[in-house]
Chains A and B, each alone.
Chain A
């Protein structure tokens, strides 16, 4: 089913008798998702409002991410949370997955840039929350609740986003010789200094990567200071290409085995890495680890604050198992927003 308006979507949901899987471009589905007949939102496209001087974009959920990128770039702007993705990815999918790239350490996640939503709940009721202004505490913040809800509470139809001016200058320093665990202290040093780092990551073929953005003079000053600070961690160089899009989409569906995504405190990353094979990437200063494990194998993680999730492979799996109290609240919300259980999603 591919409704072409919010009203038609609401009608489809009201008439539904069987569970459905809400999809945008279908490029970010995880184990357990997309199994029921699809409720495809990719026909809900178009821009409702774009006011560059107010840093505000209101866009329908099925609009391709690439279209959004292009439109903003034409005005010298971007999505600050730097979502990556595969061709076909929609902005609704980005938001439903709270997909956030390397700049999260500086500019926040998708949920932080999202300032308003319209969605259709499981009864076919159209709901609006938030609006088009950045500061808004009028009533509960369902905007945050909907971001990252992966189609479990409703079908997003329209999103208001805060855009960001593109920085005039972008430079990336690297410490090419560092292995993942050795990169952690360097990334931390960069993030805790007065450098306004906009990316602190690691890739197997690149070593530690640290990005600075802003006005030319300012970036030059910070780069000098940062080089100085980092030199005790290894040889510092500067890259001349752009490695960041790879980090913005670490869930690329290539490679063997199952991809795992681990969110932890950077201070715990070393002890986690010690239990794993060489990771695919680190980001957010070590707070985000992606690693491939042989199909079906579970990681043997130490006790840590955070969680690990299998993002490709057979069945959904989160470690450690989420605690029963928060699960109860999650389940309660799903029952309230979708009492008939129409929206099928993974747990």
Chain B
């Protein structure tokens, strides 16, 4: 079980004064009725909940700046929130915190297709960014599966990825600039054309900082011309090792698929039962998708076929129509839903070097047997970002603890083979206490120094990312809240 720090009693005792100050600053934006703040008590890591002191839903950068200045002055912790789809507990409040939510900040500020960019308010959803430029035949590349709901500000905070990042990169590779409000209410502009500012790459360190350095209110994003078409193939293998080796061979050959997705047999069987996509009953399966005009797609798929046959696939199914493409993706896209049918699950997110894939899959199999919990694997194979799903029963006493322990062992394994704890979901509270398995004290100290510069009082989302004992001295050094002198 994850611990959270005790709420600051001084802050709690001045709750009414704080709410009044926020209301005076931005009318019509403050929620403090406990019946309503409940809606903000968790994100998609829903096993952990805590209602905040209040929620504020501003509409402009200026309003965010005013709210932040007040919280700063009153010594009130702040938790930024986009759409609350974080799987790591990144947006989970503490009882003494004000949640600043960006759900009302959804405007498109500028579209410049000639400069291949769009500028939006950070509360806009990922999918509706692409939607805004769809008519001009452009799209925004990073596409987390949660894209219908998740907000660009959340994507930036988590440096989110998606199915197509093998070719197009993750959020940080598609982010050109942000307007951000610091904890003291200062507004800064980071980045610039090509993502480049005149000084240090502050934009680079802000992206992925999990809402600990500032609240991003506006973002300039790179958009790309839509490819003429895309087509997947499905390749089945009689062992995970062979599938892993085939992935490496495809990447090595210089074809650049937009996606290489991997599913193992527990996952194939579960999805087949759930979605009837017509997948072969085999040990491992790859879905490889390429883009271009029809002849370009044919050329790439021919090359992929030449490579795949040398690995004796049990099946090589090339899509011949829109409908067949849809069928090939159907199982993959319903994989998480299918797992939900098997029970409650924890979704891990470690990354490993692609070369370690066979070894890691075998070790996960062993661990799964040791713990007596089933694990299904479905993930982005091209970049080694694994999503092992641990199936457990939330109603069985002790099952969640056991599942979390198994999860921690799998993540330690990822680090041990040269990978990392999280490839795209972020640390949040979920992986916070494992950080010391990947980073030495000096490594964490260097990261915390960055926060010291942006948020010297450690008021912003401070109970996340760093193990609580590691960040304790900084959080405890918070100056005592001073009365608001408005």
Contacts and interface: CB of A to CB of B under 8 A. Distances in A.
A14 interface: no
Interface in B185-233: 186-190, 192-205, 207-209, 225-228
Contact of A133 (B115, B194, B418, B444): B418
Interface in A236-290: 263-267, 284, 287-288
A218 B161 CA distance: 27
A208 B294 CA distance: 29
B121 interface: no
Interface stretch (A18-26, A65-73, A140-148, A293-301): A140-148
B424 interface: yes
A1 B420 CA distance: 35
A137 interface: yes
Contacts of B128: none
Interface stretch (A82-90, A106-114, A170-178): A106-114
**Number of chain B interface residues as a range:** 35 or more
Contacts of B426: 137
Given A165-B252, A326-B188, A329-B188, A137 B193 contact: no
Contacts, number: 244
Contacts of A235: none
A215 B303 contact: yes
Contact of A112 (B169, B249, B439): B169
Interface residues of A, number: 78
Contacts of A168: 254
Given A76-B254, A336-B452, A221 B293 contact: yes
Contact of A144 (B204, B248, B465): B204
B276 to A, nearest CB: 31
A3 interface: no
A191 interface: yes
A265 B113 CA distance: 11
Given A266-B115, A322-B199, A287 B353 contact: no
Interface stretch (B7-15, B77-85, B378-386): B378-386
Contacts of A37: none
A136 interface: yes
B69 to A, nearest CB: 14
A141 B190 contact: no
B328 to A, nearest CB: 22
Nearest to B195: A109
Given A133-B383, A133-B420, A139-B435, A53 B251 contact: yes
A7 to B, nearest CB: 14
A327 B198 CA distance: 9
Contacts of A329: 188, 200, 202, 453-454
B420 A136 contact: yes
Contacts of B449: 333, 336-337
Given A76-B254, A133-B418, A336-B452, A109 B194 contact: yes
B352 A53 contact: no
B249 A121 contact: no
Contacts of A323: 188-189
Given A145-B205, A218-B299, A309-B198, A336 B383 contact: no
B450 interface: yes
A147 B161 CA distance: 21
Interface in A313-328: 318, 322-323, 325-327
A104 B195 CA distance: 11
A12 interface: no
Contact of A142 (B205, B207, B351, B422): B205
Given A139-B465, A217-B299, A144 B201 contact: yes
A168 B299 CA distance: 13
Contacts of B295: 217-218, 221
A192 to B, nearest CB: 6
Interface in B227-247: 227-228
Contacts of A264: 193
Interface in B416-437: 418-427, 431, 435
B113 A104 contact: no
Interface in A119-154: 121, 125-129, 131-145, 147-149, 152-153
B253 interface: yes
A139 B444 contact: yes
17 contacts: A112-B173, A125-B445, A134-B351, A136-B423, A141-B204, A141-B209, A149-B201, A165-B252, A192-B116, A192-B138, A217-B295, A288-B194, A305-B193, A307-B197, A307-B198, A327-B199, A336-B453
Interface of B: 112-117, 137-138, 158-159, 161, 165, 169-170, 172-173, 186-190, 192-205, 207-209, 225-228, 248-249, 251-256, 292-293, 295-296, 299-300, 303, 351-355, 380, 383-385, 418-427, 431, 435, 438-440, 442-447, 449-454, 465
Given A142-B447, A191-B116, 11 more contacts: A76-B254, A133-B418, A140-B205, A144-B172, A188-B114, A218-B299, A305-B192, A325-B186, A326-B199, A327-B199, A336-B452
